[in-house]
Structure 1
């Protein structure tokens, strides 16, 4: 059976829990923060850490963090339900050298996928366009807005403390994967 729709899905903060970095930041920078303390996507600004210091730290910790990231609550169940009817294209800003770690994480979590692309930057528009994505799932505010505006597709933006700027009508805020499932299932029925 040919699947009619293709979903573009960010990984970090979307499929993985948005607080995945917090324990590592607390331990290595001697902080005691929660996800609610992170009010900006750019962590160096949010935490007042020098960019070069954070970049060096992130280069070292990135593989460990990604290998051990917990899954966002409800993500697996919803994605596996959709997998029967739609293609799942995971499009992430992760750098390409992390592909094996990423693929291993999907294998360990038993999440099926049709395709994974690590873009190496937050510029996902070209990749989403190339693969004719019909709907996108994101946690980064400006990515969600630009994907919607450039591609004229709906974008599900998972609510976090760091993405609270206003959004246009085609960017739909969701608080959970279960909530997203209800919206998406209704949207899919409209297009059948």
Structure 2
């Protein structure tokens, strides 16, 4: 019986945060790495006109999503979790990108119980509607909002663009292995023996 419900962002969380860097370099004749992106807003981070960046992203978004590599370890941890937890992927992607998103999950052999593309960074309503127990995110503002409004733990995957201070309910991790260890500790603190620890 699956008890806990995990809300999981896709881009920069399940996918590698550097997924769009090659596309940026090619399109804007740059030679940057992920470490150069210190702000979530790409226009601000790269000093590119917002309209120009928005048009570029609208055109390039499907190709980026189709080609995005997995974040290291995500497949192994999600495969482990899917036996025990509900995996609900909640993304700011827009609905017209659902087929590309679903195909990517199929290609990567990532199990999901639900995929929801809400077209907005405000994930509070979706997380509340699905009664999410923990959320996994890479966007600082999302993590803080989810943690404060829903009073749930939010696991924030460290990136150069999300280094602002966070409240107590936001837990920083560097990778999926650390996220898994935190989940096991969280379950133990609740007085439950994680099924993951019985194997």
Does residue 118 (structure 1) correspond to residue 120 (structure 2)? The answer is no
Does residue 27 (structure 1) correspond to residue 26 (structure 2)? The answer is yes
Give the match's secondary structure for 1:136. strand
Match of 1:144 in 2: 143
Q: Aligned-pair distance for 1:190?
A: 3.0
Match of 1:8 in 2: 7
Equivalent residue runs for 1:148-159 within 5 Å: 148-159=147-158
Cα RMSD (Å) of the superposition? 0.6
**Unpaired runs of at least 5, structure 2:** 193-199
Distance 1:188 1:69 in 2: 31
TM norm structure 1: 0.98
Match of 2:197 in 1: none
Cα deviations across residues 132-172 of structure 1 (Å, max 9, x unaligned)? Answer: 00000000001000000000000000000000000011100
Cα deviations across residues 21-46 of structure 1 (Å, max 9, x unaligned)? Answer: 00000000000100000000000000
Aligned residues: 191
Equivalent residue runs for 1:53-132 within 5 Å: 53-132=52-131
**Unpaired runs of at least 5, structure 1:** none
Q: Flag as ranges the 4+ runs of structure 1 deviating above 3 A.
A: none
Give the match's secondary structure for 1:23. helix
Q: Aligned-pair distance for 1:48?
A: 0.6
Distance 1:190 1:173 in 2: 18
